[in-house]
Amino acid sequence: MKLRRSAIASLAILVLVAVDSAAASFVPPPWVLHGRYSPTVDPAKFVSRVDNRYFPLVPGTAFHYRGYSGGTAQTDDMVVTHSTKTILGVRCTVVRDTVSEQGKAVERTFDWAE
């Protein structure tokens, strides 16, 4: 019994040392932000109308996507509204985005695009 306790204690110490050394050698991926994030937003550098032919944000335009999250089928319906919202001095187009599973909404958001 004493030998078994000693073996369990030794194993526990070994696991703790392994976990500690793994944590000490962790290197974050290169895309991780280093330092303070403080962008400068200049409204003059933004366009007044989005005219991207691959993603037109013309009010009334609707996009319908089908896909999977894990093994669950989902649809994503995006509608470009006639509304705008000013964010940090930039006038943005409001896009209503609804993700559904089996015909029921699981996520509803309003996104802002410029």
pLDDT in tens, 6-39: 555 555 555 555 555 555 677 878 878 778 888 8
- 2: pLDDT confidence band, cut at 50, 70 and 90? low
Determine the Cα–Cα distance for residues 105 and 101; give it in Å rounded to an integer: 6
Whole-prediction pTM value? 0.63
SS3 state of residue 44: helix
Determine the Cα–Cα distance for residues 6 and 12; give it in Å rounded to an integer: 10
SS3 state of residue 58: coil
In the chain, where the domains are located: 2-113
